[in-house]
Chains A and B, each alone.
Chain A
Amino acid sequence: MKRLHNAAMAVLGVGAIVLSACGNAATTTEGQPVSGGTLLTSFKDDLKTLDPAIGYDTDSWLIERAIYNGLLDYKGFTTQLQPDIAAAMPVVSPDGKTYTFKLRQGVKFSNGRTVTADDFKYSWERMLDPKTAGPMTSGPFWGSVHGAQDFFNGAATSVSGFKVIDASTIEIDLDTPNQSFLNIIAMPFGFVIPKEAVAAAGSDYAHKPVGTGPFVLDKWTPGQLIVLKKNPNYFGTKPYLDELDAQIGVTPEVGYLRLQNNQIDIVQPDVTIPSAQYIQLSANPSWKNRILKSPNVDIWYLAMNANMKPFDNKLVRQAFNYTVNKANQIKILNGRGVVNNGIQAPAMPGYVPNYNPLGLDANGQNIQKAKDLLKQAGYDASHPFPAQDLVYAKASADSDRLAASIQQDFQQVGITLNLKGLAFNAFLDITGKPNATALSYNGWFQDFPDPSDFIDPILSCAAANVTANGGNVAFFCDQAADKLADQARGDTNSAERLKLYQQFQDIIVTQDFPWVPMYSTVQTAVAAPRVHGFQIHPVWLFVATSIWVTGGAPSLAPASASASASASP
């Protein structure tokens, strides 16, 4: 998943780090589950899409997950894969290149039709089809499927590596082994959709999704409301909730006020509690024990585009690596994070604890060294460093504060930064284009718990070779490092593989300096007292199927309007 829009969104880790989360519940579970009722949640902005071939952001994924299924999913609230529409885990050939899946019997789309292997072939080819214009059509993750390249460049009309053996068996052939391919299958890009629904929706499938999931989309009023209803045809354990509503246009700041007035059940579950509300709720006896905390598998960093001046000078990029006060960033986030001098998140396999090859102080700085390097690079009082724009996504007041702190850090070494806070979509557009943004404040968190997810989509040459919507915002490409990543991707010896990824990290942090790695965060969330079974999922953040509600639902209408309505004769 994905680029993050503020310091606040993230997926969680598998629990490798222990936080001082004194007595904080891991879940809001209590009592016996009851069926029925409506859960009301909120989003700040409207969803981009509910087409699983297109969506690559946490908001869209959150609802997509309730509507669709793929072959595999994560078991409960762990990061361990288990069969979902697949009847069992796949048979993998000894060379690691062929995966054979048997489908579970009797899985139906919400329109009543039974899912077959053909539906998967159709869905995946549509997802990779350049005409769909989704994020996977340039080759990340699925590029090694046999025949995918021919399909991308139009030499083939279908992907030969997706083989329908019979109605309930599908085989996938890869050109090169990929140790994280099962995780890739489990991403929403691998979800199954019915061909007839796409045909019926015409160009508007994004708003008329049909899937196999626990819920179906009942209503989507753009910019206002999304209503999901329980899917009667769902093959799995039925959800407790009858209905899942999401009100759109509610900023987190307003959302948490409404939560405390019982006007909302859960505020945008993929965004952590904003700092002001976090301090306030933590000090409130009736709320502080309801706050859920969990370490994120994420990394926040400044990306420096080495194709653009002045960052084409390696000494400049190196100097920047000694300048940022990372501890201040974490203080602004109320201590909900840890300083990170590497490129992998703490909970990721292969993470190196206390990684600090540059010998930075506890704040992550060495100001004198930064000044020396800038002087070496030719900048001094008579040749001042040119003022730079720091581009960041502005999702809450916290984003501005984080950027302001960095602005101050660079003042110390004589560099002026102008803060350019942008809306999330504008931010993604401008940072995803080559030679458009020199310096940006970015966050990345896991699509799946494998170190390759922190390299292939954001630090590989393939990811730099795009014309738009790129994830490699530093447009970093080092052939030698790329070879290590290629080697690691197919390596079956996991210890050796992790070592390769650590070598990759060393190249980034001590030789090339495309980033200033800063910190990894802790996710926090809170639900209204009537909500039970709410838990932060390590990959999906939010899972609706575990939740049940007691007592009356908050009214969608403003309180005064409903009062006057009930008072009228």
Chain B
Amino acid sequence: MAGPRVSPWSPIWNRFREDRLAVGGAIFILLLVVLALLAPVLPIRDPNHGYYELLPANGAPLSPGGTFLLGSDPNGRDLLSRIIWGARISLFIGFVANGLALVVGVTVGALAGYLRGWFETILMRLTDIMMAFPVLLFSIAIISIIERGSVLVIVAVIALFYWTAVARIVRGQVLSLKEREFVEAGRALGGGPQHNLLHHILPHLVPIIIVYGTIGVATSISTESILSFIGIGVQAPTADWGKMVADGQDFMFLAPWLVIFPGLMILLTVLAFNLIGDGLRDALDPRARALFRGVIGGVVAGGAGLAGQRPGLDPDAEPT
């Protein structure tokens, strides 16, 4: 007697939704995505237009609650509009940069782990070299040389640095997976590397990709904020959270809302992605806790940190 058909995802969903923090994070991100997508049609002011005529004669920014719900900056721009439009930039860069990092990282890690030999040596030493660069310094150098303020360059730079961590984890996983019986069986039946990787190994990597992908979005967003904060990220007048914090710095004591609101958005968004990642990790593979504990710790410790510095991320660790 066959029971009712159960999707393989439903136990995962059941486990995930028990994690209140993760669900909270997911709701927050969902709302943010909706707001960001709807920004052009929402009844809000142009985020980049300065309403100088509304500012007092001394040019002081307007406090929250008056004409502008979240106040204005010293250029007379609506903080609420800027925060909503800023979400578009942050989410776009977060998703795209991290997506790129995943594609490169998974490809490199899987090939290195499966093919081994000189191929692995070259790829993994390349990974080591990339990890040895101080991310911020190198990003500054690259962005200054190529083009300052181009969103695509920022995406490329973030992806350039974060594929390495993915590659190491994936390689470790593949190393152990390829020794399993079902892969061996695939090989014995004449499956080539391409077939084995795509059909037998990749499906087992999905949980890792999902979890690391989610947490990586947080890392990418905080890195983008840092780049914009130090002035080499998104350029004026485009609204961006990191840049808003930087611009509001000197008014911090006079108009704390200029720093608090965008700062809070960065904090909440990064936290939400981390919580979701945490929840997904538990839901997807309750046994993998030990492996990922280090990943979370590293991400929370600092978005610009190097994956290689994250404790507990031993690329050769076998899952327990």
A positions within 8 Å CB-CB of B: 253, 274-277, 279-280, 282, 325, 327-328, 331-335, 396-397, 400-401, 403-405, 407-408, 418-419, 421
Q: Contacts of A401 on B, CB cut-off 8 Å?
A: 74-75, 247
Shortest Cβ gap from B314 to chain A (Å): 40
Pairwise interchain contact B50-A397, C-beta atoms closer than 8 A: no
If A279-B60, A325-B52, A328-B52 touch, does A396 touch B250 (CB 8 Å cutoff)?
yes
Cα distance A407–B49 when bound, in Å? 10
10 closest Cβ pairs, A-B complex: A276-B250, A328-B52, A276-B251, A331-B59, A334-B58, A397-B250, A253-B250, A334-B59, A419-B236, A279-B60
Q: Contacts of A397 on B, CB cut-off 8 Å?
A: 247, 249-251
Pairwise interchain contact A275-B57, C-beta atoms closer than 8 A: no
Pairwise interchain contact A335-B57, C-beta atoms closer than 8 A: yes
B198 part of interface (Cβ distance < 8 Å): no
Pairwise interchain contact A279-B254, C-beta atoms closer than 8 A: yes
Task: With CB as the reference atom, state the residue of chain B lying closest to A283.
Answer: B254
Chain B interface, number of residues (Cβ within 8 angstroms): 22
Give the interface SS of chain B, mostly helix, strand, loop or mixed.
Answer: loop
If A331-B52, A335-B58 touch, does A280 touch B249 (CB 8 Å cutoff)?
no
B59, B75, B231, B253 interface centre (most CB from chain A within 10 Å): B59
B206-252 interface (Cβ within 8 A of A): 231, 235-237, 247, 249-251
Task: With CB as the reference atom, state the residue of chain B lying closest to A409.
Answer: B50
Pairwise interchain contact B75-A280, C-beta atoms closer than 8 A: no
Shortest Cβ gap from A547 to chain B (Å): 27
Q: What are 11 A-B pairs at a CB distance below 8 A? A: A253-B249, A276-B74, A276-B251, A279-B254, A280-B253, A327-B52, A328-B50, A331-B57, A335-B57, A397-B251, A404-B236
B55 part of interface (Cβ distance < 8 Å): yes
Shortest Cβ gap from B59 to chain A (Å): 5
Shortest Cβ gap from B81 to chain A (Å): 14
B48 part of interface (Cβ distance < 8 Å): yes
Pairwise interchain contact B50-A335, C-beta atoms closer than 8 A: no
Cα distance A432–B210 when bound, in Å? 53
Q: Contacts of B52 on A, CB cut-off 8 Å?
A: 325, 327-328, 331-332, 405
Pairwise interchain contact B58-A280, C-beta atoms closer than 8 A: no
If A328-B52, A332-B74, A405-B52 touch, does A274 touch B237 (CB 8 Å cutoff)?
no
B38-68 interface (Cβ within 8 A of A): 48-50, 52, 55, 57-60
Q: Write the B243-267 contact mask toward A (1 if CB under 8 angstroms, else 0).
A: 0000101110110000000000000
Q: Contacts of B235 on A, CB cut-off 8 Å?
A: 418-419
Cα distance A401–B61 when bound, in Å? 12
Q: Contacts of A332 on B, CB cut-off 8 Å?
A: 52, 59, 74-75
Besides the contacts A275-B250, A279-B59, what 4 more A-B pairs have beta carbons closer than 8 Å?
A280-B253, A332-B52, A334-B58, A335-B57
Cα distance A418–B235 when bound, in Å? 8
Q: Contacts of B49 on A, CB cut-off 8 Å?
A: 408
Q: Write the B18-55 contact mask toward A (1 if CB under 8 angstroms, else 0).
A: 00000000000000000000000000000011101001
Task: With CB as the reference atom, state the residue of chain B lying closest to A408.
Answer: B50
Q: Contacts of A275 on B, CB cut-off 8 Å?
A: 59, 74, 250
If A279-B58, A401-B75 touch, does A407 touch B254 (CB 8 Å cutoff)?
no
Partner of A407, one of B58, B74, B236: B236
Shortest Cβ gap from A94 to chain B (Å): 53
Q: Contacts of A333 on B, CB cut-off 8 Å?
A: 59
Q: Contacts of B247 on A, CB cut-off 8 Å?
A: 397, 400-401
Q: Contacts of A408 on B, CB cut-off 8 Å?
A: 48-50, 237
Cα distance A334–B49 when bound, in Å? 19
Cα distance A421–B237 when bound, in Å? 13
Q: Contacts of A279 on B, CB cut-off 8 Å?
A: 58-60, 254
Q: Contacts of B58 on A, CB cut-off 8 Å?
A: 279, 282, 334-335
Cα distance A333–B52 when bound, in Å? 12
Cα distance A122–B247 when bound, in Å? 49
Q: Contacts of A404 on B, CB cut-off 8 Å?
A: 50, 75, 236-237
Task: With CB as the reference atom, state the residue of chain B lying closest to A402.
Answer: B75
